[in-house]
């Protein structure tokens, strides 16, 4: 309350000076830092020093004229002043819009402050920054021991660790909405099909049925997986051709999209057509070593 009175007293004092003098005094922080503080339990302030460019090109005369009216009012009306900054990231048109506004705004209790319009695209970018992507869970193999044989398919399936939604076809996705006033945005991050690879350049990669999390047969028909022998194929896996210890790697990447309103449900079918500008989401990676043995013939006595 003391600060509020001090600011009001300063503005009322300026009412006795010329508008040109009011406009000639740019505000500067003493130490150039940003700070947040509260003067009372219900009155707080935030200084965004590094974002704000302070200048004296605003319509200072408006605040000057309003301060003159407050000087002559009896009793003094309740309220407080708000200062209008300019974001240095604004384009020239946006800067000029700010400069055409009053430098200070007198807020009467119960009167809403003048609003700012945050574009839906900006809300989408803020929403994607709040999204918490799942990490890498377990990589499962069949044979499960991590030991396999030449020409015997090794099936691969991975799991995500963390919360996510599942859409059509088992699609892992996440969604976040952002809303400010009458503006809103919904963003999605959806998985792309799993990329499978191995350090053995001679191995055959069976990737036609990998989907988003690897082998579906390991979940739907584990008995069929167990019956798959040498020279068979996996819906998602690796068939090694030579003995050794080799690494299997898998990677799941994310693509984003957004719409300029708040909606529920899975991503739209053409999600990749409208990505969130500037969004670069980290992929999820798995790796596991497999020891491959040579299949030995078992010839009995002739």
Question: Which strands sit side by side in the sheet containing 244-252, from one edge to the other?
Answer: 147-149, 284-293, 244-252, 195-198
Q: Are residues 230 and 155 in the same domain?
A: yes
Q: Pick from 110, 142, 164: which residue ends a domain?
A: 110
CA angle 12, 13, 14 (to 5 degrees): 90
Q: Are residues 148 and 260 in the same domain?
A: yes
The count of domains in the chain is 2
pLDDT at 23 over 60: no
Sequential DSSP letters for 134-176 = -EEEEEEEESTTSEEETT-EEEEEEEEES--EE-GGG-EEEEE
Q: Are residues 199 and 60 in the same domain?
A: no
Q: Are residues 137 and 229 in the same domain?
A: yes
The closest of 244, 42, 53 to 148, measured between CA atoms, is 244
At 63 the pLDDT is 67
Q: Are residues 162 and 280 in the same domain?
A: yes
Please tell me which residue, 69 or 1, carries the higher pLDDT value.
69
Residue 298 is assigned to a structural domain of this protein: no
pLDDT at 54 over 60: no
Kindly report, residue by residue over 179-192, the tens digit of the pLDDT: 887 889 999 999 99
At 148 the pLDDT is 92
Q: How many helices (H) and strands (E) does the chain have?
A: 7, 16
C-alpha distances in angstroms, 174 versus 129, 163, 183, 255, 276? Answer: 12, 8, 21, 11, 14
pLDDT at 108 over 50: yes
Handedness of CA 144, 146, 149, 155 (dihedral sign): positive
| Percent of the chain surpassing pLDDT 70 | 75
Q: Pick from 82, 110, 138: which residue ends a domain?
A: 110
Domain of 157? 124-293
Residue 32 is assigned to a structural domain of this protein: yes
Element holding 222 (H helix, E strand): helix 222-227
Residue 228 is assigned to a structural domain of this protein: yes
Kindly report, residue by residue over 242-281, the tens digit of the pLDDT: 999 999 999 999 999 999 999 999 999 999 899 999 999 9
pTM: 0.63
Residue 301 is assigned to a structural domain of this protein: no
pLDDT at 26 over 60: no
Q: Are residues 129 and 234 in the same domain?
A: yes
Q: Are residues 128 and 264 in the same domain?
A: yes
Q: Are residues 85 and 228 in the same domain?
A: no
At 137 the pLDDT is 97
């Amino acid at each position: 309350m003391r600060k509020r009175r001090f600011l009001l007293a300063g503005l009322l004092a300026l009412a006795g000076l010329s508008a040109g003098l009011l406009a000639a005094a740019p505000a500067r922080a003493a130490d150039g830092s940003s700070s947040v503080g509260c003067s009372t339990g219900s009155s707080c302030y935030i200084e965004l020093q590094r974002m704000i460019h302070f200048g004296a090109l605003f319509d200072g005369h408006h605040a000057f004229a309003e301060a003159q009216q407050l000087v002559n009012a009896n009793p003094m009306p309740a309220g407080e002043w708000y200062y209008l900054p300019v974001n240095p990231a604004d384009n020239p048109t946006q800067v000029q819009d700010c400069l055409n506004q009053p430098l200070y705004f007198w807020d009467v209790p119960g009167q809403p402050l003048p609003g700012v319009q945050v574009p839906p695209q900006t809300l989408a970018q803020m929403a994607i920054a709040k999204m918490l992507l799942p990490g890498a869970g377990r990589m499962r193999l069949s044979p499960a021991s991590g030991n396999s044989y030449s020409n015997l398919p090794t099936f691969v399936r991975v799991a995500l660790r963390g919360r996510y939604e599942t859409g059509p076809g088992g699609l892992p996705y996440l969604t976040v909405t952002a809303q400010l006033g009458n503006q809103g945005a919904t963003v999605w991050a959806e998985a792309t099909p799993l990329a499978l690879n191995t350090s053995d350049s001679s191995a055959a990669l069976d990737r036609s049925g990998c989907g988003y999390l690897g082998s579906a047969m390991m979940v739907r028909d584990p008995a069929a997986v167990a019956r798959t022998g040498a020279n068979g194929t996996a819906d998602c896996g690796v068939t090694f051709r030579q003995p050794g210890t080799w690494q299997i790697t898998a990677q799941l990447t994310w693509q984003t999209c957004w719409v300029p309103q708040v909606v529920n449900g899975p991503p739209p079918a053409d999600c990749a057509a409208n990505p969130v500008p500037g969004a670069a989401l980290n992929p999820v990676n798995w790796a596991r070593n497999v020891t491959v043995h040579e299949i030995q013939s078992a010839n009995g006595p002739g």
